[in-house]
Structure 1
Amino acid sequence: MVEARVAQLTGVHAVSALGRGADAQLAGVLAGVPAFGPVGRFDTATRRVTVAATVPEVATLTDELADAIDAACRAAGLDRAQRTGCALLLAVHGGPALGTGPAAGAGPALGTSPAVLAGLLAARCGLSGHTRVYTSACVSASTAVADAAARISRGDVERVVVAAGYLVEPGQFALFDAGRALAVDGAVRPFSAGRRGLLLGDGVAAVVLESSTVRRRGVEPVATVVGWGRAGDAFHPCQPEPGGTGLARAVGGALHRAGLPPESVGYVNANATGTAQSDAAEAAALRRALGGHANRVPVSSTKSVHGHALEASGLLELVVTALALRHGELPVNAGWLGPDDACPLNVVTNGPQKTEATHALTLNAAFGGANTALLVGVG
């Protein structure tokens, strides 16, 4: 569909344990050196796992998000006047309230809800359009991007800011640790034999998506969101559907919306968290959606270096995928020990891989069977 090709990324910014800014994210994922280390933000003495990928000096989540939004808007060449009427779509953790300080991945005050936080950020950053919050776990940010792209493609709006943030905090850390989802060997090994689980990581990102009228402002887009797909499988509250049917439908939806065949995909930044069942299900989904091309397309998961940023994962991974594609070099899949027969894919394992590809998929999946696929293009 032609309309789906007008949502362009004109400004991006991200913060993770790899560093601050878009350039730091690209350099970090291409270097392939995992950023995991001991958690010093809160006490982990009673936990099975004591490591995560955290930013050494971090402000409150509110301040980090505001800085990211301002930086993305500046990168897109937007002054305060040009932000007037711009919508803000915000992906953060749900629940009755956000925390109260950096150690808790905090909002501005005890009891601040995600909806209130979105309003505060919009006012602080000069975005006077409507706000919407996304709290659908690990597909929150990618769902927000899909909604923004859909609104732009329909001609409803010219410009949308999408922001997302998660700072590793004791509540979610304890939950994943108690559920034995965290890797006890301190490494994330997507699609690899011997993988032991996921590790959490800080992630704060913001992007500006605009219609093709941006060209009249003389701004060079970073990439274009050419397609998106969303699908549920409702197989189990926590476990993925083994055949990957929901994620495969999401990939198919993204390709259909873009009007492109599976062979157009030159790279996949997989959701792969390093857990046994989810990685195998994702491999099955890719083989179902891409057919024989799944044997050839390079695949990696950048969670292997920056960790799982939960609600912010989709946006952080969109940023690094778009930048890597534009740079012409694909991130390595860190932590690799050897192939697993349950994951028969062309995994990038021996360092970053040169590419001339023009399209890439970035995938996300969440508890409850929610799946998203974003297809980006450059050139």
Structure 2
Amino acid sequence: MASALGRGTEAQLAGTLAGVAAFAPVTRFDVAGHRVRVAATLPDAGSLTDELATAIDEACGSAGLSGAHRAACPLVLAVHAFPNAPRVSADRWRTATELAELLAIRVGLGPVARVYTSACVSASTALADAAALISSGRADRIVVAGGYLVEPDQFALFDAGRALATDGAVRPFSTGRTGLLLGDAVAAVVLESATGGRRRTGSPLARLTGWGRAGDAFHAVQPHPQGQGLAKAIGAALRRARIGPGALGYINAHGTGTPFSDAAEAAGLRQALGPAAAHVPLSSTKATHGHTLEASGLIELGITVLAMRAGKLPVNAGFLAADEACPLNVVHAGPRSVNSEWALSVNAAFGGACTALVVRVT
């Protein structure tokens, strides 16, 4: 993984546990005409192609995949539909599918299984579908990768839509929150069946035990005020994982820091989890690394796994005070100790798409 917090898994964990936000003035392109001029960018970021290739190669290497393993392993990719036009990249490809095919060849993977361009749920949907392919026996191992580098087009759109935080801070579920801020992120994981891992003598970091997807179709850019789609996705993920809400030890929330979205998410969590919603520790790591759009579901699940393995829960940075519209158990004073082996990571996107992923870290 790589983000404005740094490169590698240790940098992501350290940054989110410390609760130190990585937002700074944007220098990658001209922002002089915008209301908001900050984002969480990786200073030495290369092209999206190079960053993704590096992440995939490192994920395969840390998983101990041989050349033969890679050649038999399909790629699932989550990126913007046209991630380089007319943006900062000098890459020669033009579409997400072309990028995926180039990456598969470059890192020695098998065929491209699927490409996801469904905005903020791209990576989490990719993970869910990859897990479904493996659990149904249609694949033994899949590499899932996702990436987004802050660029002029999306920055301008979010700024023009007055979605960006005007005070330079993301404050999920807090009073005084004014919006989101964008961030760089590139991540890759190797997802495989339990039998495949045993045959390879691999050591899993976590088990993806539940996944759920739903759509509320309430509004083009607003979630349902009661979080109906999110509640359905969470319920499906918990049922698949065969656990109740009380078993959860942490929730990495979507938590963009926008007034309406955070309140709707809180309502969906209360609907899905019942009384447990007031007790399960929760934070949004977007408060440190920013909203990474298509990469969100992957880097946030990765941070969740890292935190659970370290026994400490990430801080909800930027928190000022509790909001009565978000009666949740927000981790804000400092990292908390983990008291369960189960965690939930949720995401939502424009159009009402919602995802939920349950992991078990033992």
The letter for the 1-side match of 2:246 is: E
The letter for the 2-side match of 1:170 is: P
Q: 2:213 aligns with which of 230, 240, 264?
A: 230
RMSD: 1.1
- Residue 24 of structure 1 deviates from its aligned partner by 1.1
2:344 corresponding residue in structure 1: 361
| Range with greater deviation from structure 2 (61-70 or 23-32) | 23-32
Q: Does 1:247 align with 2:230?
A: yes
2:24 corresponding residue in structure 1: 37
Q: Distance in 1 between matches of 2:233 and 2:309?
A: 24
TM-score, reference length from structure 1: 0.94
Q: 2:253 aligns with which of 258, 262, 270?
A: 270
- Residue 177 of structure 1 deviates from its aligned partner by 0.3
SS at match of 1:267: strand
1:184 corresponding residue in structure 2: 166
Given the superposition, is the C-alpha separation of residues 310 and 105 from structure 1 closer, same or farther in structure 2, using an over 3 Å criterion?
Answer: farther
2:144 corresponding residue in structure 1: 162
Q: Does 1:129 align with 2:111?
A: yes
- Residue 107 of structure 1 deviates from its aligned partner by 6.5
The letter for the 1-side match of 2:23 is: F
Given the superposition, is the C-alpha separation of residues 105 and 286 from structure 1 closer, same or farther in structure 2, using an over 3 Å criterion?
Answer: farther
SS at match of 2:357: strand
The letter for the 2-side match of 1:51 is: V
Q: Distance in 2 between matches of 1:220 and 1:354?
A: 24
Which of structure 1's runs of 4+ aligned residues deviate more than 3 A? Answer: none
1:294 corresponding residue in structure 2: 277
1:73 corresponding residue in structure 2: 60
1:27 corresponding residue in structure 2: 14
Q: 2:2 aligns with which of 7, 12, 15?
A: 15
Given the superposition, is the C-alpha separation of residues 249 and 92 from structure 1 closer, same or farther in structure 2, using an over 3 Å criterion?
Answer: same
The letter for the 2-side match of 1:43 is: D
1:318 corresponding residue in structure 2: 301
Q: Does 1:99 align with 2:85?
A: yes
SS at match of 2:165: coil
Q: 2:313 aligns with which of 326, 330, 345?
A: 330
Given the superposition, is the C-alpha separation of residues 107 and 283 from structure 1 closer, same or farther in structure 2, using an over 3 Å criterion?
Answer: farther
- Residue 98 of structure 1 deviates from its aligned partner by 2.1
**Contact 1:149/1:209 (<8 A) preserved:** yes
Q: Distance in 1 between matches of 2:260 and 2:155?
A: 20
- Residue 105 of structure 1 deviates from its aligned partner by 5.1
CA offsets per residue over residues 7-29 of structure 1, 9 Å max, x none? xxxxxxx1000010111111111
- Residue 99 of structure 1 deviates from its aligned partner by 3.4
- Residue 132 of structure 1 deviates from its aligned partner by 1.4
1:7 corresponding residue in structure 2: none
Q: 1:171 aligns with which of 153, 156, 170?
A: 153
Q: Distance in 2 between matches of 1:15 and 1:107?
A: 20
1:217 corresponding residue in structure 2: 200
The letter for the 2-side match of 1:98 is: N
Q: Does 1:341 align with 2:324?
A: yes
Could you tell me which runs of 5 or more consecutive residues in structure 1 were left unpaired when the two chains were aligned: 1-13
SS at match of 2:145: strand
Aligned length: 361
SS at match of 1:162: strand
Among all aligned residue pairs of Structure 1 and Structure 2, give the percentage whose two residues are the same amino acid. Answer: 64
**Contact 2:229/2:353 (<8 A) preserved:** yes
SS at match of 1:319: helix
- Residue 131 of structure 1 deviates from its aligned partner by 3.0
CA offsets per residue over residues 257-276 of structure 1, 9 Å max, x none? 11111111111000010000
The letter for the 2-side match of 1:48 is: R
SS at match of 2:249: coil
Q: Does 1:256 align with 2:255?
A: no
Q: Distance in 2 between matches of 1:90 and 1:279?
A: 28
**Contact 1:118/1:131 (<8 A) preserved:** no
SS at match of 2:186: strand
- Residue 217 of structure 1 deviates from its aligned partner by 2.4
Could you tell me which runs of 5 or more consecutive residues in structure 2 were left unpaired when the two chains were aligned: none
CA offsets per residue over residues 140-199 of structure 1, 9 Å max, x none? 000000001001111111100000000000000000000000001000000000000000
CA offsets per residue over residues 307-359 of structure 1, 9 Å max, x none? 00000011010100011111110001000110100000000010111113101
Q: Distance in 2 between matches of 1:130 and 1:344?
A: 43
